[in-house]
């Protein structure tokens, strides 16, 4: 059974640009959550999608957005990039909504903003 796949694995952007990250969940998993991981703040919850609808959102500015497609694949977008957006962005999938089960994580997309 294939795991969670995130693309791209690494990317470098400059301030002011925008970026789109992609996540393919484990087959059959309908919930996809996104987290930002930095050395100073740890893993911070961005949002969760279930059946193409955003069900939960963390405390991030509106520059961070996401969506989920009918096949459960998800994308997140960050617009007007800032230096502080440099981080590892992790996607996790699970079968149920709201953290009721085990999160299966991808390897992450490491974003560097220059």
Partner 1 sequence: TQLLEQSPQFLSIQEGENLTVYCNSSSVFSSLQWYRQEPGEGPVLLVTVVTGGEVKKLKRLTFQFGDARKDSSLHITAAQPGDTGLYLCAGVIDKIIFGKGTRLHILP
Given the rule CB under 8 A, which residues bind partner 1? 4, 33, 35, 41-45, 48, 56, 58-59, 90, 92, 98-100, 102-103, 105-108
> Nearest distance from residue 53's CB to partner 1, in Å?
14
Query: Would you mind telling me the total number of residues written for the chain in this entry?
Result: 114
**Nearer Cβ to partner 1, position 82 or 107?**
107
> Nearest distance from residue 99's CB to partner 1, in Å?
4
**Nearer Cβ to partner 1, position 19 or 49?**
49
> Nearest distance from residue 1's CB to partner 1, in Å?
15
**Nearer Cβ to partner 1, position 56 or 86?**
56
* Rounded-to-integer distance, Cα 11 and Cα 99, Å: 29
């Amino acid at each position: 059974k294939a795991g969670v796949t995130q693309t791209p694995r690494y990317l470098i952007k400059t301030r002011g640009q925008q970026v789109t990250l992609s996540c393919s969940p484990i087959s059959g998993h309908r919930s996809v959550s996104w987290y930002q991981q930095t050395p100073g703040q740890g893993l911070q919850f961005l949002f969760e999608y279930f059946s193409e609808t955003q069900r939960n959102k963390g405390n991030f500015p509106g520059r961070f957005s996401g969506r989920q497609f009918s096949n459960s694949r998800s994308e997140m977008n960050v617009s007007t990039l800032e230096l502080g957006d440099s981080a590892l962005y992790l996607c996790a999938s699970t079968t149920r909504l709201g953290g009721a089960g085990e999160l299966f994580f991808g390897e992450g997309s490491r974003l560097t903003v220059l």
